[in-house]
Amino acid sequence: MSLGPSGDAVISSLRVDRNSPIPLYFQVAQHLERGITGGHIPPGSLFENEIQLAVRLGISRPTMRRAMQHLADRGLIVRRRGIGTRVVQPKVRRSIELTSLYDDLRQAGEVPRTRVLEFAEMAASREIAKRLACGAGTPVVRMVRLRSTSVSPIAKMTNFIPSELVDFDASALEADGLYPLLRARGVHLHAATQSVGARTATGAEAEELEEGRHAALLTITRTTFDDRGDTVEYAQHLYAASRYSFETHLVSPVSGTIGTY
């Protein structure tokens, strides 16, 4: 099955802007993505070969290839040598990246609120120093936040950050969020290693998160690095499992699935 008249129109209607600061391949990729998610390029349909497409759009084949590769990396299309390029089914697509709690709640129409419970400098304990790859006693800021929906708390988030990276206060943290503040300070986040687990809540934790006794909590601990390889933060987050779970979407699950096969 080919692209069909509607999908054909999507491609024919594209005029790339060679004066735009947006790269050509990205203009093309975005246009095609809108055509796919908007339903004008139907699921299962087969694209023309990339050389014809390139000619029709007035760009070179490598540029066309890069646009298609971008869509393939994001899971919207599947390319097979000798066969062609096909649009995947809509239920497979969705947003592919791991989603964030904030986005999830926003999508559900909730506006998550954040309250800073603690924001204080301290000397790094041995445990924290190990996690942050700094010496014990190094000054760090410990910040504890409670994130809630309009109805009930969802997560208690504890972060440890070397004091030298912290040039903001609790109210700025509440207003802007942690990562934007770090970026504004010139910190380029690059990689993270995290551990996802679960355990039963302590009495105090259950109370803070308004959960019952023996409630299960989702736990995430994370160490984040900047692009110079320096450790930026160590975080311990607790989620009320009865009210929250993480949706994640993966492409090529053979190599990327959490857990077992």
Which residues contact DNA (rule: CB under 7 A)?
Answer: 21, 23-26, 47-52, 58-63, 65-66, 68-69, 79-85
* Cβ pair 183, 189 in contact under 8 A: yes
- Burial profile 74-87: b = 16 or more Cβ within 10 angstroms, e = fewer: ebbbeeeeeeebbb
Backbone angles phi, psi at 119, to 5 degrees: -160, 95
Q: Which of 56, 62, 70, 61 is nearest to 27 (CA)?
A: 70
Min dist CB 45 to its own copies, Å, is 11
Min dist CB 206 to its own copies, Å, is 12
131-160 residues near its own copies, rule: CB under 8 A = 133, 147, 155, 157
* Cβ pair 59, 16 in contact under 8 A: yes
Min dist CB 80 to DNA, Å, is 6
Site for its own copies (CB under 8 A): which residue of 6, 138, 158, 242? 242
Q: Mask 80-99, x = binds its own copies (CB under 8 A)?
A: x-----x-xxxxxxx-xxx-
User: Is there binding between residue 260 and its own copies (CB under 8 A)?
Assistant: yes
Comparing CB distances to its own copies, the nearer of 5 and 197 is 197
How deeply is 68 buried, as exposed, middle or buried, from its count of CB atoms within 10 A (0-12, 13-18, 19+)?
A: buried
Min dist CB 12 to its own copies, Å, is 25
* Cβ pair 115, 145 in contact under 8 A: yes
* Cβ pair 143, 116 in contact under 8 A: yes
Of the candidate spans 10-18, 33-41, 160-168, 247-255, the one that interacts with its own copies by CB under 8 A turns out to be 247-255
* Cβ pair 216, 38 in contact under 8 A: no
* Contact partner at residue 2 from its own copies, DNA, none, CB < 5 to 8 Å by partner kind: none
Site for its own copies (CB under 8 A): which residue of 4, 42, 43, 84? 43
Min dist CB 123 to its own copies, Å, is 22
Longest CA pairwise span in the chain (Å): 68
